[in-house]
Structure 1
Amino acid sequence: MNIPNLLTLARIGFIPLLVVFFYLPFSWSMPLAAGLFALASITDWLDGYLARRWDQATPFGAFLDPVADKLMVAVALALMIERYEAVWLTLPALVIIGREIVISALREWMAEMGKRGKVAVSWIGKVKTTLQMVAIFLLLAFAPGTPIAHLAVATLYVAAVLTLWSMVLYLRAAWPHLSDSM
């Protein structure tokens, strides 16, 4: 067990805390939830950076890091769907969650075929993830209906578009292997 893997495990441990903070009936609970989400987002970057910098990348970390990211984002988006109770927020949230399921399954299948490198994370995926994290942080930190919350929803839409774009790129890269198996 190394520090990058511990950071990834901490991010998973933050998920139940995020849910608890979200539901606490205090004025400070949403800013606390937003701060926790921001801390989790920073550990997402930091664990990868440290693993590369210290040459501590492990198969366990390579497996767990994307799982931690997807769990944190999916849970936070589910909470935002409840908080906003609006189709205009639900749609991009479900696009993002659905894409994550599709791409996770695609990566698993490609790995079984020994072709995981064909669906490696791209720069679009990194930008998408950054926009998701910023949007979710702002949606947690600011009340629905505020100008910053509107900006956050717009950012979430941009992230959803990038989500779809990156999914198309991944599916196109995998298509020769997918079509061979039909």
Structure 2
Amino acid sequence: MKIPNILTLLRIVLIPVFVLVYYLPYGWAPLASALIFGLAAITDWFDGYLARKLDQSSPFGAFLDPVADKLMVAVALGVLVETFAEPWMTVPAIVIIGREIVISALREWMAELGKRASVAVSMIGKVKTTLQMISILVLLAVPPLSTLSWIGVGALYGAALLTLWSMFVYLKAAWPFLSEDI
């Protein structure tokens, strides 16, 4: 088993641990769940780095890495939506999760056409992911509606805007193939 794949699998194993810790009835649970999410976010970066550095890329890793990322983010956003229970928190979460579904389907379809490179990860996507991870970390670690939580909410809205922008960029690149038989 390759080290990057082990890190990806660790990220998936951390999902139920994250949820369990998040709902523990202790004052330290929010910070502990944020640390677990932070560990998962670091393994996301680190597994990609190691795959390139150690030349340990694999089809398994190429498939599972984005799945692990999307699962962790979707679960974290789900618990945050439940915690805040406000439309202003639900809207950016829906935008982020919805975009991930659309772009995953688009990438799969483009791969079937042999045009996967047309919708490769862009710098906008990397910035979006970084802002998204920071916002989720802050929102998990601090009490809802505290001064610091508003920083997390602002970062989440920034991530949602970049999410829409990157989705537009990907759809624009794929449009010639999508619109052939309209």
TM-score range, shorter chain: over 0.9
2:102 alignment partner, SS class:
helix
Residues 140/111 of structure 1: CA separation in 2 closer, same or farther (3 Å cut) = same
1:80 alignment partner in structure 2: 80
Aligned ranges for residues 11-26 of structure 1 at < 5 Å?
11-26=11-26
Q: Deviations over 1:129-171 (max 9, x none)?
A: 0011000000000001111100000000000000000000000
Q: Are 2:57 and 1:57 equivalent residues in the alignment? A: yes
CA drift of 1:181 comes to: 4.1
1:24 alignment partner, SS class:
coil
Distance 1:119 1:12 in 2: 25
2:67 alignment partner in structure 1: 67
1:146 alignment partner in structure 2: 146
Residues 78/53 of structure 1: CA separation in 2 closer, same or farther (3 Å cut) = same
Distance 1:75 1:179 in 2: 34
1:48 alignment partner in structure 2: 48
Q: Are 2:126 and 1:131 equivalent residues in the alignment? A: no
1:170 alignment partner in structure 2: 170
Q: Deviations over 1:104-152 (max 9, x none)?
A: 0000111111111100000000000001100000000000111110000
2:179 alignment partner, SS class:
helix
Distance 1:148 1:53 in 2: 37
Q: Deviations over 1:23-73 (max 9, x none)?
A: 111111111100000000000000000000011111111111110000000
2:110 alignment partner in structure 1: 110
Distance 1:79 1:43 in 2: 21
Distance 2:81 2:101 in 1: 18
- Post-superposition, which runs of at least 4 consecutive aligned residues in structure 1 deviate over 2 A? none
Paired letter, 1:164? L
Q: Are 2:8 and 1:4 equivalent residues in the alignment? A: no
1:180 alignment partner, SS class:
coil
- The alignment-based identity, stated in percent, is 63
Residues 181/12 of structure 1: CA separation in 2 closer, same or farther (3 Å cut) = farther
Larger CA deviation: 158-167 vs 57-66: 57-66
Distance 2:87 2:123 in 1: 29
Paired letter, 1:79? V
Taking only aligned residues, the RMSD between alpha carbons, in angstroms, comes to 0.7
